[in-house]
Each structure stands twice: as structure tokens, then as C-alpha cells.
A and B are shown apart, each in its own frame.
Chain A
Amino acid sequence: MNILEVNKLSFSYPGSDVKALSDLNFQVNRGDFVLLCGPSGCGKSTLLRQMKPAMTPYGVMEGEIFFQGKMLQRLSAREQASQIGYVGQNPEDQIVTNKVWHEMAFGLENLGLPNDVMMRRIAEVSQFFGIQQWFDKDTSSLSGGEKQLLNLASIMAMQPELLLLDEPTSQLDPIAASEFLHMLSRINRELGTTIIICEHHLEEIFGLVHRVLMLEKGSVSFFDEPRQVAHQLCGGNNALYEGLPSALRVSVGLGDEAGVETLPLTVGEGRAWLDEYLAGKTVSGADEKAAGFDEQNGFHKSKYVIRGKHLSFGYEESNKRILQDCSINVKEGEWFCLLGGNGTGKSTLLKVLCQSLRHQDGSLEILGSKVRKEKDVPLGYEKMVLLPQNPKALFTEITVQEELEEALAGIRLEESHSKDLAQEMMAQIGLQGMEKQHPYDLSGGQQQMLALGKLLLLKPRVLLMDEPTKGLDPERKNALGEFLQELCGSGVTILMVSHDVEFCARFASQCGMLFSGRVIGVDNRRSFFAGNQYFTTAANRMARRHFPEAITCHEVVDICKDL
């Protein structure tokens, strides 16, 4: 029996001739776990919001949607609120109240349920989610992952039949994201709740869902089981390819003709698949070939731009030191990626380098000058700059053009000159034609580029970045990577901290790990990832038995093709 039936659904935003959704027809069965995917701007979020009338944006809608056999629009506000749950992207902004228990009660209070019913539902849900331990905590003291789990739990307390999620893990670190997705899978398996989720990082979720609905330019291009959809993507140069799980990317990239059933979705399946693929072939010279992928950039100087020795830092309130005897050296022209889990002190290290936190021990030298006081740090024009995690922290103006010009305020330049520079930058960061737009109206990826452009107008010699790939879709991520690679080639030193193993493996020149307050295992990217057993890319984990030096999907595919 189907829970949702979409007939000839079209939607266009006011004042736009282009249909954001055009003539969609599909049905979702009760108890299905459906992944909604497609390139940026294909109408994923728009479609998701059509399924909950309270969230539907203004615009012209045609066609009809049936929910449990009833027209969606005919559903009472009450039924709609309790039976269709919605979880959005940003964990922080969906939280309304100050206590965890109150947050879980919020939806139930709105339904006007009596106290003992609420008590019981909250107790049940807390047990299911395992959040009894933080039941009494303040919501503001939770981590991002915990916040998003709480958002999910407070929706589940309302006992919805259908759960809609719009990129719920895009702001989370990989471990929290994985935990969240597995919780969804458990909800689906154990409670039978129908789930429709919109995602662009498919590595983990592709193996969990029952069906994949792929949208392209507002219409359904595929709606089938994951392996079937993956099979259809074979060969075709699809925008979605980059987001697929590594195992699929390798097998699809090699044009596997063996059949749909054998397509691997996980690393484990991928290993077995590769063993079979390589059976009978001789593997030799793969490592040399892998080494050949490393481009030499001309800027290999021995001059250090950042030298931190034995840095340590801890907050006064706690006895624990976040940085302990931490040494970091970054050479000019390098792209240095610092990886590490949550709470290992990655952001703290960046703050110490900028001296918004003062190190308590050790010495620091940046761009050749010793940092003795906070004011000694060479930040700003033609020195070092920091790209914050959230680009909104930099936006002050009402148009893109003015935003870029604002970067040069305080730096004595002729006005016409700064206008030209802004224009030039707009072209570089791919925002030409958008000069009159408000920065907040740009997409997440464009905002990131605008913030970067703003900083680049300051002609920095060192660029610090805090999780620059957070919330970007695979396409944007690649564009950013290539942009930064070019920048690095022109002599700008980049130091970035990140969770994103795949991104770093593809683009960085040096990698290191932050653990227990120290920087560990600094090496060039290939040796770093090839030397790790766990903390490495999915492609490497999959192929390391045959080609230990291959660390990205492209490399594995290229080596295999040459055999």
C-alpha cells in the first residue's frame, strides 16, 4: 500500500517562468526508505517541501499529492503537524527551547496533549534514542550531532507516519553524520516509519536506503533500487557520479558489465568485487603509476611561514589541555591539511595561530616574525587571513559587489581601483552577473566562494581555513578544490583543518593528524594516507591490498584501466 502518491506535480516560484518541478509522478510505499538526490538546484528541497503543506514555499502548484489516500491539502493542520515530520539542515536553528526535555515536549505541547501522555511519549523516545543521559541538559551545551539527534527525537515524539529530512547531516562531522543516518535506518526498520531523505553525500546512505529517487532539472530521471540506479549511471558522465560511494564509483567507473546484483555499495563489498575483477590479471608497477599522479608544483621552498613549537593551550575552567606540546611547521607554497575528529582541538589551533586565543606555552613564528603579544600576529592585508567555518560571519553589506569592496575598506586604494578589483574577483570566484544580489540569497556554496573572494582581495600570503567543505555538495567541493589548487600554485600557502578525508586526499600537498593535542604523522598526502590503516579514504581501504599507494577513486580506476 502506498503512503504517498504524487500525480502530475508541477511547481514554479513566483515571477519565474522556469518550472522548479515539472510533471512528477511517483508513489512511495509505506515503510520505504527513499533517498532523494540530484545535482544542486534540481529541485530536491522544493519537492521535499511540497510534501508538507506548512513548509511549502509560495508559488504556483499544479497536480496533486495524496497522503494515505487523502488529498494533502485537505489534511487538517493538526494531522499534518503530527503525521508528517520535517527535519532541516541546520541543527542549531531548529531548536526552540532551552532544555532537552522541553524541546522534546514542544511539539506535543502544541498539540495540547495532557501531561501524562507527554511524559510517556518523551520517556519512550528518550529510551529509543538513548538520550536519557542528557535529558536535563541545556540545549545550548549540546554538540551539533547531539542537537540534530534531538531534533529528530522531538519529531519522533509526535509519532509521525512520514519523515522528511532535508540534508540533515550536511553540518555534522562524519562520525555524527554516520550515527544520525544509522538512527534513521533503525527508525525505519524497527518502527516502520516511511522516510524520505534528501542528501548529496551518498557514501554511507546509499547502502541503507530501499529506493533512490533521482531528480534532474525538476523531473524524475530514475526511481529505483540503489543498485539499479547506479547501474544506469554507468558510463554516462553524470553530475551525481562524484557523490556516489567509492565502491560504486570504482566499479561504475570501470564500466562493470557483470550485472546489477553484484554492484558493490560498501567498502567490504568493494574489496570482494575488486578481488574478483583483478583475478587473473597481473598487478605490477601500480605504485609507480600512483606516484605519477602527484603533480609537482613550482613552489617548493624551504622557507617556513608558520612555525609553532611546543604550543599548549587549555581553558581555565577545565584542567584538560586541548593543545599539548603541539608543534606545527608549514612551508611556503604548501597546502597543508590538518585532519582529526571532533574536539581534538583543530579549531583551537587555528585560534591560537590567529591569537584570538593566547597560547600558554611554547613559541610561535608567523611569516618570519616572532609572536610575543597578541598584536604581533601578522593578520590582514598581504599577510595572513582566516576563512571562518560560517561565511555569514564576514557579511556586512547588501550586495555582492559592495561586500567585496568592503574587504578593501581601510586599505588606502582609489575607489575606482577597488571597484575593478571587486569585478575581477567576481569573475574569478564564479559570481559574475550576481553583483546586485544580497549575499544571504546566494546558495551555501556561493556564500563560501564570496567569503573566500573577500579574503583573497586582501592578497594574503597565508590562508587559514576552518572546515571549508562543510555543507558543500560534491560538485561545489571539486570546484573549490581546483580553485584552491590554482591559488596554491600561485604561491599562497594554505593551512586548513578538516574532517573531510576524501577532499584532503585529493587536493592537499601535506597532511597531518591532530590527536591528543599534538600534530602527528605529517607527510605528503600519498604517504600519509597510504600509511594509515583506518584513517584513510574509502578507495584506499578498498584497494590497498592490490595498490597500497592509490588513494582516490580516480587513481584506482586509472590504474585498473591500464592493466
Chain B
Amino acid sequence: MVLCGKINKLHWSKLHPGVMFVYFVMTLILTMCVTSPILLLASFLSATIMEFMVGGGKRYVQQLRGMVVIMLMVSLGNVLLSHNGIHVLFYVNDQAITAEAFWYGLFFGGMISTAYLWFDLFQLFCDSEKLIYIFGKTMPTLGLLISMSLHYIPTLHRRLAIIRDAQRGMGRDENRSFMERAKQYGKEFSILISWSLENAIDTSDAMTARGYGLGRRSCFHTYRFRGRDGFYLVAMCIAFVLGAIGIFSFAYRVYYYPAIVFPKVNGYLMIFYGCYVVFVCLPLIWEGIGVFYEHIRSK
């Protein structure tokens, strides 16, 4: 993939995959449970900057289009389905359309979009190798299963192309009518299945020959847990706990129904919200520190 080059240059991608995985899980929790639009915006912006860094602007603009559509659809849907709220804008079929429902819909759409961005980043950063490591460590068979499917998919693709060419070589491409073509596709698919099943016997032979099923498997990897991973892990956990207090405790929540109520701003709120922002921006901060150190070292 084109993106891999860019990703591998980032300091953040050099973190231990386990740490990275935990970070993504925590981020998703914090993003999906947030009530404050300001915090959501912070999460969204951080994800956006990361997307720009690894995926580039072109890719992001494409995604943004989809996200805008989602936001509009969700807010429209919410307005039509939820009639809660005290600020009535107008009535449709005797049903109240409220400002609160609109704002909540917009907020909710934004949350889905942000979560989508984080998921996208997750799959960009956690390539097959890291995924297999993360799952293989606890469930070796699942790790192997992922690896085998990733090998099998391109193999099936190639095989299907071979079958298609072979069928064409028999003159089976001239069939014009829809029914005949459907029948031909069915035939090609059935060849693919029997061919693959047949060859799967060899694969299973090769697996037994190499001792598959002897007992508990171990899981080979090339990752090492280093000091910086520990440092990141600690910082991440502290920020997560404080940030979580900020979004889960009733005192600091934002209420949308029946009227939009923001929490009172005080010192505690500033600390908790601040930690939330630090948490979602952690990869960027990490990147900044990395660049800074490199700069010092090069002098």
C-alpha cells in the first residue's frame, strides 16, 4: 500500500502494538461516551490531523464527504423521530420539530463520524502483522486464522483469474444472453470451489507435517516492549482515567433534553476536560516529542 511508507516514518507507529491497541480501544470508549460537543470536536480534530499525516488530504476529503452525509442524515432522522425538547421550531403532521433534537442529531452524527475516523486509523496503523500479534498472543489459533485468510484471499483471486482465462480459451466467452452468462459464472465458481478444496488437502498435509495440533502453540513476533512504551502506557492510563471521570460523572455532562444544559465551568472541570483533550491528542504530542528529540540529537 502507498500509505505504509508514511506510516512507518511516524514515531507513534513504532510503539508496541499492544499499547497501540489499548490506546485505540480507550479512544473509542472516550469518543462514543462523550456528551460534550467541545470534547468531541477535540477528538475529531486530532483524528483529522492524524488522517492527514498518514493518509493525505485527498483521501480525507473523500471521507469527509461521506461524514457530512452521515451527519445530515442522522440529524434529519433524529428530528423526525424524536420530538423531545422545549424549543419547538415548527410542526409537521402535528409533530413538534425541536431545536434540541436537531442539535443532538448533529452531535450524534459527529460522534459516528469521529468513531469512524478512529476505526480507519486503527486499520491503517494495525496492519496484519500487528493484528496477528495482538490476537495471537492470547488466542494463537485466531491469530493463525487471520494470517491464513490473508494468504488465502489473494490466492483465490489469482485462481479465479486463471479459471476465467481458461474458460475463455474454450470459447466460453461468446455467450451473450443473461441466463447463459449467469450459468457460466456459476460454472467458474464451482471450478474454483472444487479446485480449492482439493488443494486444501495439501495445505492440511503440510500443516500436520509441521506439527500443527501438537498442543499449545506459541506466537512468533518481532516486537519488544521498551521503556518508551511503558512511559506512554502510564501517561495514557492517567489521562484516560481523568478524562473518563470528565465524561462519565453526572456533574460534568451535557444534557440535550428537554433543554441543552452545559455544566458549570470550574477548576475540576477544566482539569478533567483538559485530560480528555490530552488523551485524544496523545499521538500528536508523542509525535511532537519525537521530532523535538530528533532535532536535539541532530545538533
Contacts and interface: CB of A to CB of B under 8 A. Distances in A.
Q: Do A and B bind each other?
A: yes
Interface of A: 52, 54-55, 77-78, 81-82, 85-86, 88-90, 92-99, 101-102, 105-115, 118-119, 122, 138-140, 151, 154-155, 158, 351, 354, 356, 375, 379-381, 383, 385-390, 392-396, 407, 410, 440, 454-455, 458, 464
Contacts of A379: 168-171, 173-174
Contact of A92 (B155, B165, B219): B155
A78 B210 CA distance: 9
Interface string B186-228: 0100110011001110110111111111111111111000000
B194 to A, nearest CB: 7
B132 interface: yes
Give the 9 A-B residue pairs with the shortest CB-CB distance, closest first.
A380-B171, A386-B169, A81-B211, A105-B220, A393-B166, A93-B202, A107-B210, A94-B206, A388-B166
B172 interface: yes
Contact of A54 (B144, B170, B208): B208
Given A78-B214, A113-B218, A158-B210, A97 B144 contact: yes
B212 A110 contact: yes
Contacts of A88: 202, 205-206
A81 B154 CA distance: 29
15 contacts: A55-B205, A82-B211, A88-B202, A88-B205, A96-B144, A96-B151, A99-B147, A101-B220, A109-B218, A112-B217, A154-B210, A375-B173, A379-B174, A393-B191, A455-B170
Given A93-B200, A97-B147, A102-B129, 15 more contacts: A78-B214, A86-B209, A96-B147, A96-B148, A96-B151, A96-B206, A98-B128, A110-B210, A122-B220, A140-B151, A140-B158, A375-B174, A387-B169, A392-B195, A464-B169
A395 B194 CA distance: 9
Contacts of A356: 164-165, 168-169
Contacts of A454: 170
A98 B155 CA distance: 10
Contacts of B144: 96-97, 109
A29 to B, nearest CB: 24
B154 A140 contact: yes
Nearest to B132: A102
Contacts of A388: 162, 165-166, 169
Contacts of A139: 151
A392 B205 contact: no
Nearest to A93: B202
A163 B216 CA distance: 25
Interface string B106-126: 000000000000000000000
B175 interface: yes
B151 A110 contact: no
Contacts of B206: 86, 88, 93-96, 151
Interface of B is mostly: helix
A536 to B, nearest CB: 31
Given A93-B206, A440-B194, A458 B169 contact: no
B111 to A, nearest CB: 34
B139 interface: no
A81 B209 contact: yes
Nearest to B221: A115
B150 interface: yes
B209 A52 contact: yes
A435 B187 CA distance: 21
A390 B162 contact: yes
B211 A78 contact: yes
Contacts of B212: 106, 110
B286 to A, nearest CB: 25
B289 to A, nearest CB: 28
Contacts of A118: 218, 220
Given A97-B147, A109-B140, A109-B217, A385 B211 contact: no
A81 B147 contact: no
A394 B208 CA distance: 30
Nearest to A114: B218
A379 B170 CA distance: 6
A119 B224 CA distance: 12
Nearest to A81: B211
B284 interface: no
Interface of B: 128-129, 132, 140, 144, 147-148, 150-151, 154-155, 158, 162-175, 180, 187, 190-191, 194-195, 198-200, 202-203, 205-222
A139 to B, nearest CB: 6
A106 B172 CA distance: 41
B100 to A, nearest CB: 50
A379 B155 CA distance: 27
A380 to B, nearest CB: 2
Contacts of B164: 356
**Which of A93, A101, A390, A410 has most B Cβ within 10 Å?**
A93
Contacts of B220: 101-102, 105, 108-109, 115, 118-119, 122
B211 A394 contact: no
Contact of B187 (A95, A112, A396): A396
Contacts of A395: 191, 194-195
A99 B128 contact: yes
Nearest to B203: A93
A52 B210 CA distance: 11
Given A118-B220, A379-B170, A385-B169, A410 B175 contact: yes
Contact of A77 (B155, B158, B211): B211
A91 B67 CA distance: 45
Contacts of A107: 210-211
A392 to B, nearest CB: 5
B211 A111 contact: yes
A114 B213 CA distance: 17
Contacts of B154: 138, 140
Contacts of A94: 202-203, 205-206
A49 to B, nearest CB: 9
Nearest to A357: B165
A393 B195 contact: yes
Given A110-B213, A393-B191, A101 B222 contact: yes
B151 A98 contact: yes
A120 to B, nearest CB: 11
A555 B172 CA distance: 43
A112 B208 contact: no
A52 B208 CA distance: 11
Given A81-B210, A455-B170, A112 B151 contact: no
Nearest to A439: B194
A385 B218 contact: no
Contacts of B171: 379-381, 383, 385, 458
Contacts of A115: 218-221
A110 B214 contact: yes
Contacts of B169: 354, 356, 379, 385-388, 464
A282 to B, nearest CB: 52
B170 A110 contact: no
A410 B195 CA distance: 23
Nearest to A118: B220
A115 B173 CA distance: 52
Contacts of B175: 410
A378 to B, nearest CB: 8
Contact of A380 (B155, B166, B172, B216): B172
Nearest to A375: B174
**Which of B158, B190, B198, B208 has most A Cβ within 10 Å?**
B208
B209 A106 contact: no
A55 to B, nearest CB: 6
Contacts of B208: 54-55
B128 A458 contact: no
